[in-house]
Chains A and B, each alone.
Chain A
Amino acid sequence: MKLTTLTRAGLAAAVLIATAFLLSHGVLAEEASPAAPTFNKGDNAWMLTSSVLVLLMTIPGLAFFYGGLARSKNMLSVLAHVFYTVCIVVVIWALYGYSLTFTGGSSIIGGFEKVFLKGVTTDSQAATFSVGVTIHELIYICFQMTFAAITPALIVGAFAERMKFSAVALFIPLWVTLIYFPIAHMVWYWPGPDAIQEAAKALAAATDEAAKKAAQAKLDDVMADAGLVFQWGAIDFAGGTVVHINSGIAGLVGALLVGKRIGYGKELMTPHSLTLTMAGAALLWVGWFGFNAGSNLEANGGAALAMINSFVATAAAALSWMFVEWMVKGKPSLLGLLSGCVAGLVAVTPAAGYSGPMGAIVLGLIVGAVCLFFCSTIKNAFGYDDAFDVFGVHCIGGIVGAIGTGILVNPALGGAGIIDYAVIPPKVADYDLWAQLVSQSKGVLTTLVWSGVGSLILYKVVDVLVGLRVPVEKEREGLDITDHGERAYTM
């Protein structure tokens, strides 16, 4: 039995607390037959809360953050792109997105077993990261729905202020279906702790050779019922690859294909309201606790770890960006603090439940400076017009976070380690730096290629069908009037 292939996502802290909890409830007793999984109202309450917190990140958080960065003539266009994206993805998620993402099928994409939420009732259960603990499946569907909604909403910042609304309207449902669902499935779909434990117990209970062989085959089958990237052992707590690298690279491809805004680099394109951008960044930070601590799926020590990491990494990144900017450009800007804040949130997303708090601070300090470098020096050198720095903050921040997670998960560095659910009871597996870094890199590359190439094709399809870009005179006048027939501010 190859234990290294059986190591699966989880948290040392979570397991310690969850184990204590389970023992106190007699769930982890030595009986051969596993106890029926139990709902915990606290877990459910936390996940209900987390789901709406992630919605809060997107609308109004992300919408304000982006909207403030736009020129006033395009304000409503940006808000409409984000709001539309949330609405269309929510409906698609319920129709077939959840099924394609979180049912078995292949290691690339799920099946149609739960299309139209077939078979899901108020009694349905979804696995958490603790053996014998579940939450209501409907809550899990809502929680994951908000992730599917925010990811494509991040993309629109890259091609803002010149993309046709009809192009966005078509691109978003295509992208979420052909890029997001497969990536989320590859990274996050797994059989869950109960199925693995049950198979592992059956193997341990097997006496003769034939029974052992059969039990091992069963365990292998269970372990193979997972996404490709997951099977490689890549860990992504709350979506460094799935959400941020995925949307960031799609944004860059979009910005390149649709071209620069008229007057880019020559005319003033200053943010029209950094006040709103600040309000948006702050709402993102608040909502991100649902995103990161919610990704623990249980209200326990693991969620607490994700929460403190989301505090300290974010603050460290904001400070890092601001101080580096102060040194290099001469002034400490509010936008620098806000951009660093978002970069920190992005980087800590995959690491939230794996890194220790001190590791998270280091991660934040690094990502703040790295993202500033990409959003100024690299962007200026190559001259692409990624309007609101979706690539520089989300893709680059996501890569820093994904690789950093592979390092900071190390228990020797204060990390939580990776839980092996195939031993009884589950415990933290041995850590292997290079193996983990290879796994993380494979996850990053898969996302970059899948999303980069896939998005390129989808943009081309949309270009042929409705065209990507508004005509010059409409861009000059502003998309609020020309695309939507309304204006943000009337004087």
Chain B
Amino acid sequence: MKIVTAIIKPFKLDEVRDALTAIGVHGMTVTEVKGYGRQKGHTEIYRGAEYAVSFLPKIKIEVAVPSDQLDKTVEVITTAAKTGQIGDGKIFILGLDSAVRIRTGETDAAAL
């Protein structure tokens, strides 16, 4: 099993969700985050005072998937979240030792 962590543009969230649902991924965790990468930030001006805003708002999604579904999941997220502009985000893949569904006590793949 793997955890797929994707940092994406906030307005791409619904498209990513729909795309993942379509390939049978049923569940994700979403967090509003801030950060920076190659997209350095932007300038905000308040009454003439300029501020360099270096942390930009992004959405972090976390999806747990069986290993055989990993490639499809990554491909779907990449396609759905892509605009081609700088700042589209990144995907990180981590190993997942085990999983438990609290209600039933099911474990691992059955819990996803």
What residues make up the interface of A, taking CB atoms closer than 8 Å to B? 268-271, 325, 329, 331, 333, 335-336, 339, 372, 375-377, 379-380, 389, 392
In the bound assembly, the distance between CA atoms of A403 and B60 in angstroms comes to 56
Pairwise interchain contact A375-B51, C-beta atoms closer than 8 A: no
Pairwise interchain contact A380-B49, C-beta atoms closer than 8 A: yes
Ordered by A's residue number, 23 sampled pairs between the chains whose C-beta atoms are within 8 Å are: A268-B51, A268-B53, A270-B44, A270-B46, A271-B46, A325-B48, A329-B45, A331-B45, A335-B46, A335-B47, A336-B47, A339-B47, A372-B47, A372-B48, A375-B47, A375-B48, A376-B48, A377-B48, A379-B48, A379-B49, A380-B48, A380-B49, A392-B47
For B45, give the chain A residue with the smallest CB separation.
A329
Pairwise interchain contact B49-A376, C-beta atoms closer than 8 A: yes
In the bound assembly, the distance between CA atoms of A270 and B45 in angstroms comes to 9
A377 to chain B: which residues have CB within 8 Å? Answer: 48
CB distance from A375 to the nearest CB of B (A): 5
Residue in contact with B47 in the complex, picked from A268, A331, A389, CB distance below 8 Å: A389
Name, among B45, B46, B47, B51, the residue most crowded by chain A CB atoms within 10 Å (CB to CB). B47
In the bound assembly, the distance between CA atoms of A50 and B53 in angstroms comes to 43
In the bound assembly, the distance between CA atoms of A90 and B9 in angstroms comes to 51
Chain B 26-50 against A: per-residue CB contact (8 Å), 1 yes, 0 no? 0000000000000000001111110
Majority SS at the chain B contact face: strand
Chain B residues with a Cβ closer than 8 Å to the other chain, count: 8
A271 to chain B: which residues have CB within 8 Å? Answer: 46
B45 to chain A: which residues have CB within 8 Å? Answer: 325, 329, 331, 333
Knowing that A270-B44, A377-B48 are A-B contacts, what are 5 other residue pairs whose CB atoms are under 8 Å apart, sorted by A's residue number? A268-B51, A270-B51, A271-B46, A339-B47, A375-B48
Interface residues of B in 42-70 (CB under 8 A from A): 44-49, 51, 53
For A325, give the chain B residue with the smallest CB separation.
B48
B49 to chain A: which residues have CB within 8 Å? Answer: 376, 379-380
B47 to chain A: which residues have CB within 8 Å? Answer: 335-336, 339, 372, 375-376, 389, 392
CB distance from B43 to the nearest CB of A (A): 9
For A69, give the chain B residue with the smallest CB separation.
B46
CB distance from A428 to the nearest CB of B (A): 40
In the bound assembly, the distance between CA atoms of A446 and B58 in angstroms comes to 54
B48 to chain A: which residues have CB within 8 Å? Answer: 325, 329, 372, 375-377, 379-380
8 tightest CB-CB pairs across the interface, nearest first? A376-B48, A375-B47, A329-B45, A268-B51, A335-B46, A339-B47, A270-B51, A270-B46
CB distance from A441 to the nearest CB of B (A): 28
In the bound assembly, the distance between CA atoms of A339 and B48 in angstroms comes to 11
Name, among B48, B51, B53, the residue most crowded by chain A CB atoms within 10 Å (CB to CB). B48
A269 to chain B: which residues have CB within 8 Å? Answer: 51
B53 to chain A: which residues have CB within 8 Å? Answer: 268, 270
CB distance from B85 to the nearest CB of A (A): 20
CB distance from B88 to the nearest CB of A (A): 24
CB distance from B31 to the nearest CB of A (A): 13
Chain B 60-89 against A: per-residue CB contact (8 Å), 1 yes, 0 no? 000000000000000000000000000000
In the bound assembly, the distance between CA atoms of A161 and B49 in angstroms comes to 17
CB distance from B48 to the nearest CB of A (A): 2
In the bound assembly, the distance between CA atoms of A406 and B45 in angstroms comes to 35
